[in-house]
Amino acid sequence: MIRRFSLADLKRVVEIDKKSFKVPHDEWVFRYYYFLSPKNFFVYEVEGLVVGFILFEREGHLLYLAVDPLYRKRGIGRRLVDEAKKHLKEGAYPWAEVRRSNLAAQSFYQSLGFIREKVIPNYYGNEDAYVMVASQKTSGSC
Ligand SMILES: CC(C)(COP(=O)(O)OP(=O)(O)OC[C@H]1O[C@@H](n2cnc3c(N)ncnc32)[C@H](O)[C@@H]1OP(=O)(O)O)[C@@H](O)C(=O)NCCC(=O)NCCS
């Protein structure tokens, strides 16, 4: 089940984030974006347990997406991106930065029809980012 994030979910989101990213994000990052745009933060729940989340901007930028390692490869990440797409501004297309070394996320976005648009050198300090963009940007089909 997908629903909007509430502050009661913060602990689980931080836990999942820690298990998911090379450099985990501080709790304040999630609080900040939640207070900024509470409607752009969704969680995926399985039997009452939050197992994934997505945070995005309505202009299309997918800011943070992660699924608990125990629940990956079940279509949860795809459903979270699909949910975000429903809430983008008209005409906006989703895109995300991905670490050059994060091959899993690159394959994930490619499976969803994203293409690698450009490289941002040293975006993560000592590592480049690929900007992955939904291919409808170029094909015109959503
Ligand atoms: C990337 C991530 C969110 C994917 O979540 P997920 O729930 O496992 O993804 P899904 O099950 O919805 O997979 C959707 C598609 O991506 C593909 N995919 C997912 N993980 C993959 C992997 N590790 N390697 C290759 N393909 C992968 C799936 O095979 C599936 O393709 P299909 O529909 O053609 O079979 C998850 O691996 C994760 O949390 N990673 C750590 C955090 C991260 O990197 N976030 C993104 C940063 S930008």
**Domains (range + CATH), the chain:** 1-91 (3.40.630.30), 93-142 (no CATH)
| Pocket flag, ligand 1, residue 78 (CB < 6 Å) | yes
HSE-up of residue 53 (Cα within 13 Å, Cβ side): 27
pTM score above 0.75: yes
Amino acid at 103: L
Considering only CA atoms, which residue is closest to atom 43 of ligand 1?
Answer: 66
| Pocket flag, ligand 1, residue 70 (CB < 6 Å) | no
| Pocket flag, ligand 1, residue 111 (CB < 6 Å) | yes
Confidence band of 139 (pLDDT split at 50, 70, 90) = very low
pLDDT digits 0-9 by tens, 89-134? 999 999 999 999 999 999 999 999 999 999 999 999 999 999 999 9
Q: Which of 45, 83, 97, 117 is catalytic?
A: 97
pLDDT digits 0-9 by tens, 12-46? 999 999 999 989 999 999 999 999 999 999 999 99
For residue 137, the model assigns a pLDDT of 60
pLDDT of 10 over the 70 cut: yes
pLDDT digits 0-9 by tens, 52-90? 999 999 999 999 999 999 999 999 999 999 999 999 999
